[in-house]
Every structure is written in C-alpha cells, then in structure tokens.
Structure 1
Amino acid sequence: MTSRILEDSMTACEPGPGRARVWMVVVAAGAVMGLALGLRHVQGLFLLPVTGTRGWSRELFGLALAVQNLVWGLAQPLAGMVADRHGSGRVVASGVVLYVLGLYGMTRATTAAGFVLAAGVVTGLALAGTAFGVVYAAVSRQVPGERRAWAVGMAGALGGLGQFLLVPATQGLIEGLGWQGALLAGAAAFALVLPLARVLREPRPAAGAQSAPPQALGEALREACGHRGFWLLNLGFLACGFQLAFIANHLPAYLADRGLAPEAAVAALATIALANVAGIYACGVLGGRYRPKYLLAGIYLARSVAIALFVLLPPGPWTLYPFAAVMGLMWLGTVPLTNGVLSGVFGLRYLGTLFGLVFIGHQLGSFLGVWMGGRVFEATGSYVLVWLLAIALGVLAAALHWPIDDRPLLRSPAPAAA
C-alpha cells in the first residue's frame, strides 16, 4: 500500500503538460484550506480565555460555534452553486474577506449576540467559501483525471500541515498577545492569501470542447435526490461532523477537567493536525485505487473504537497522544473520499453543489457536537454522555456507507442535431 502511494506521488511529479499549473492549484488550495480549517481547528483554545474574560458560559461559547457550523452547512450548497456557475475564484475571494471580518468581529464583541453573529454567522459564511467544498471542486475540475486523486490528497495534506502549524502558533499568540491579539493576527494572515483566489479560478472551456451533453442544475439535483446513496452519504456524514466538532472544541476543556495541563491540549491538537497531513493524503490517493465507500465505513468504525478506548482508559499522556494520532490519521480523510464517491457517481459538472448538499449533514452533526458538548456539561458536569453518542454515531455511519451504490450513473445522450 505504501509503495503504491509513493508511486502515485512520483507519477504526479513526472514531466507532463500542465505540471506547473497543477502544482500552483494544489499549493493555492492547500494554503487557503490550511488557514480556513486551521483557524477553525484551534477555536477550542479560545474557549477558556474568552469565557473567562467575558464572563460567559461554555454553553454560550459552544452555541456560537454550533451556529457557525450550521451556517457553514446551510451556505455550502449556495457557495457550491455559485462556484459551479461562475467559478471558484470569486467564491474563495469573498470567503477570505468574510473570514477577516468575522475574526475581527469576535475581538470586538462584548455581548452574546455580537459574539454569535461574528463567530457564528459571519465566520460560518466564510468557511463555506474557503473550505473543502468549493476548493476541492476547483482542484478536481482543473486537474486531469489520472492526477485528480493525488491532487486532492496533496491539497488536503498541505491544508492539514497548515492546521498543524497553527496550533502552537495560536497558543503562543494567545500567551503573548492575548486571545484578541491572536485573532487579529489570524485575520491579518488570512488577508495575505487573498491573491491566491485568482489561482483557483477555473479557465473557461474552449468552444466545442465539451463532449458530453450539458445537464441543467435542476436535472442534476433531481437525479441526486432520487439516488439512495446520496442520502446515505448525507446521513453518514453527520457522524463525522459530530465527532470532529466535539473533539476539536471541547477536548481542551475536557482534559483540563481531568487534571491535565493546558500544554497537553495543545500537544493533542497539534498531534491530530500533524497526523491529518499523512491521513488525508493517504485517503485521497487510496480513494483513487479502492472503492471509497468501503474506506469510509472502515474509518467510521475505527474512530468509534479509538474513542471508546480513550474514554475507558485512565487519562494521561500514554492514552491521550496515541488517541490524538489515531484520530488525526482519520480526521479529514473522509472529505476526499466522500468527494470521490460523489464525483464517481454524478460526475464533475455540479460537484460543488452536490458536495454542499451532502455537507449539510456533516454540519448538522457539527452543530449538535459543539452545542450538546456545552449543554450536556452544564447539565451534568461531565462529557461522558457525549462521548458515548460519538461512539454510537460512528458505528451507525459505518453501517450506512457499506451498501451505497457507487456505480457511475448512465445518462441518455441528447438527440443528435439535424
């Protein structure tokens, strides 16, 4: 398996037409996603500083991030539609601007409503334009088929590397500049990647280059909604969102409650992000060789086992870091695999739109994971019930993905012109 992954990497680097362009797209996609998902990944580090400064509860902080995930999910199909119709460059540029405004608004918010608006609504809209839904579609459409799996995996790996680097950087900024200064530094860094939106702009196809008959958006939506596998993907993706959002946002507080130092949470999130670099690249490449639905089922089942062992075993470095490494290997690997199922069944034309619709399930799970984490803790003083629910959802997701019909749809050709 390892040799096959290395073989794909070497093949992708061989001289060939458009090699420089492919690398430009991959690097631009990785940089944008690295900041977008990295700043989201470290939001748990702000929970205790923000609530301590403002006098807010964990439930309120969790509600703001839950709204962020829900808005992100609801806006993702719309962002995908605009990107499919007008190109990904404009959508990414708009998302970058909104992200800067959202981070700045979080530093200025002194009321609960203002914080929910900035951290929840504005940042949620920003993620819809800068995360994998739009970016992966842009990469898939600009890279030849034989390199597509590698390109998606490599872009995700570069994005994961950005997540890893942001964990210690953010903790250092919080300690040196305070949580508000750290957020402002993140906003400034995001403003610097705005020119990369032009790189992700898809070139217009040449006249007469389209060999397949055009498909209307409404027809594509009816086709997807009538496919049983489309709904199974949506339901299964809910478990992914629940597990990731709960762990990323509540793990630092959970570890503090169990008596571990704040440095342990930083190291755990960094371990997740670093392992994610290898995991997402491997999943992207393996998705081009094996049926993604089976890989997805295996990932969800393995996650449940890892969570169960982490909760049952005593807390400490010997349980925390192996758990973080295992979860990191499977952290965002579900995204290129889900993207691969969709493109394999429905094609590339409306990939951004269809992924956005499936992503609603993911973000509904994220909303529940973040909000229920705070709500259950405030009600019971413990996160145990939420951990148990995360385990059960992983087993359910594995069962949902296994029977998906992932064969490409056969469409009737348009009548020949007279």
Structure 2
Amino acid sequence: MAEHRTRPVSRVKPATVFSTVAVGAVTASVVAAGGPAMAEPDYPSWSEIEQAKQNEQTKQAEIARVAELLTGLQQAADAAVQASMMADEAWRVAIDERDRAADRERTLGQQADEADAVAEISKMRAGLLAAHLAKTAGNDLTTELVFSGDDTQKLLEQLGMASQLGRQANDVYEQAMADRNTADALRGQAAEAAAERERLAALAETRADEARAAADAANAAVAAQEQKSEELYAQLASLKDTTAELERQRAEGQAREAAEAAAAAAAAAAAEAAAAAAAAQQPAAPAPAGGSVGEPAPAPAPAPAPPDSGAVEAAIWFASQQLGEPYVLGGAGPDVWDCSGLTKVSYANAGIYIGTHSATNQYYTLAARGLAVPVWQIQRGDLLFWGSGGDYYHVAIYLGGGRILEAPREGVPVREYFIWGSPSAAARPAG
C-alpha cells in the first residue's frame, strides 16, 4: 500500500496488561457510536476498604468485589482494543479495493488509448480505399463502357478491379467500425472503473474516520482501565496486606496463564475435531468374504512442509529491528508500522511475497498457495491470524515458545509478546 493515514499518536499510557482471553464474550458489550452509555461501576471508597478489613468475611467479599471490578475493566479495554483492530483492518481492506480499482482504471485507460489509435488507422484506411474506388469505378468508367467500341476487355478488367476494391473497402469499413466500437467500449469501462475508484476512495475515507474513532475509544478505555486499576490494585493490596505492584504482577501472570491455557485448549479442540473429521471420511472396511478384502482407506493429508529456516530467520531479524517503533495505521516502514505492514515488509526482506497490506489478504494469498497450517502445528516464523468468519483483523509473526512479534495498535509500539486471545488461523510463508 503506497500511502497511509496518519493519526495523532495518543499520549495515553498503554495498558500494562493486554489479555483478550474474554474478548469474544464481551465484544457485544462494546458501545457503538451514538449508542447508550454503560453505567459507571460502583467502585469502593477507601473508607469502605478500611471498614471491610475489620471483619474477615466482609474482607473476603470486598476482595472478590475488587477483583471483579478489575476483570471488568480489563474486559472493557480488551473489547475496545479488538474493535479498534477490526476498524483498522476494514480501512486496509478498503484501501486494497481502492488500489485495485485504480489499477483497473489505468489498465482500461491505456487499452482505450491503444484502441483509439487502431480505430483512427482503420478509419484512414477506409477513407483512402473509398477515394480510390471513387476514382476507379466512378462516372468516367460508366461513360467509357457506353462508348467503348471494341476495347471491352480493358473495361471488364477495370470493372473487376472496381468490384474487388469495393469488397475490400467494405471489409476495411467493417473493421474500422469494429475498432471504433472496441475503443468506445473500453473507454466506457474505464469511466466505470474511475467511478468505482472514486466510490472506494470515499469509502476508504469513511473507514479512516471510523478507525480513528475506534482508536480513540480504545485509548480512552485503556486509560480508564489504567487509572481505575491503579487504585483498585492499591485497595486490593491493603485488603490482602501485600503491595499494589505484587497484586498487579499476580494479575498479569494469571492473565498470561489464562491466555496460554485458552490457546492450548482451542488448539487441542481443533486438533481433535480435525482428527474426528478425517476418521469420518474414511469408509469402513467391509468384512472379508471369500478371501477378499475391502478397498484400502485413503491416505491421510500430508503434514505441512517444514519452514525454510533461512527465510524465517531473515524475516524475524528484520521484524526484530523494528521493536519499539510506533504503530501507525497503514505504516509499512521505514519507522512506522501496522500489523500487516510489518509482516509484509519483513517477509519481503526474506524474498517472499505474502500478499497485500491486509491481514485478510495475506491469509488468503498464502492459503491459495497451500501454505495454510493448523494453529496447533505452528512453528517459528509462521504467521498467526486473529478473526472469525473468514475476516482477519490482526496478524503477527510466531517466534516459538508461545511468543509473537507484532505491531499491535495505536499507542502500543512494535513488541514481542505472549500469544493473546485465540488466533483462529495460521500460515507458513516460508513453507
């Protein structure tokens, strides 16, 4: 993608915790623009915390209440972040479609120009033949035929030539008309392509506005989560006689463990489903009769080819050089990135084209080459995709050991992180 929209980088401190384990369950709760506002939770006061510490049962109830509020804040932030990622990908897809329409407009315009030139040449040929025919087979030839005397052979030859010229002129005329119709049709198609490109350009502008609003909402949700959770962690620490930092670290560790467990459970479920589907497709062998046996079961699908380690390391090396650089929607270097811009340029550095500047396009480009792999069989260098229903809103490079390298979202720079949420697809560019 040749251009990108630059949004002002938020000064909001990015979330320390970014676990989207529960995103799927809370996405529907994200408030759409213009929708009803969510009720403000009932946060405990410090006096309530001090009172709760006087009674063990009340203290435990207050601990549970604070933990629930922290979870709710994290889920709201995660849902807003996911909505922002989805809005960013919608913009990338719109830009992709606009650029394809522009390419089609240019191609049709060039074809129309070439067809116009051919039509003009055909028109000139037809005119020259018509003029020659008029000179050879006009009124002079008729007069000569009437007063020819004995020289009829010469006149017959002239008539034959005139007839041949007439047929040739007719053919040239028909060709000239066909060439003109072709040129006009191509010009009309070019005009339609221009209108479509303008429509898609306007749609891309709308998607950019939506992405900007979603990013602002995500930053606001993360800021609220950070602001409120800071006090809640302090209250929790007071109730449990620990420190706020310890409670935060404990929550982060639990979030990471929950994400890893969710990813492992999803992978195991998918593997089990795939094995069951493969078993269901194999016909049962009939019982031997008369010494005969049933047809052999079909061979299982071949395992994905292992990745080219040289290409993998070249891509990862390039991506790792961008760690800490800012996320900008549409960024594809040299010092700003978004998710699919980072993966595209990183693998281009390894000499591999993985698709356009879109997570969705990259998955389908690689899948069309037979390079999609099951999520539970991922290896270092594979791409992980987040999304559902065939639409993917985020892509990252898998590093191994449950970690990824990604350009996550506005306000969070390129980073190495654990696998968050539940990636729904994977592909092996270097396979």
State TM-score, norm by structure 2. Answer: 0.25
* Higher CA-based Rg: 2
Name the structure with the higher helix share: 1
Q: TM-score, normalised by structure 1?
A: 0.25
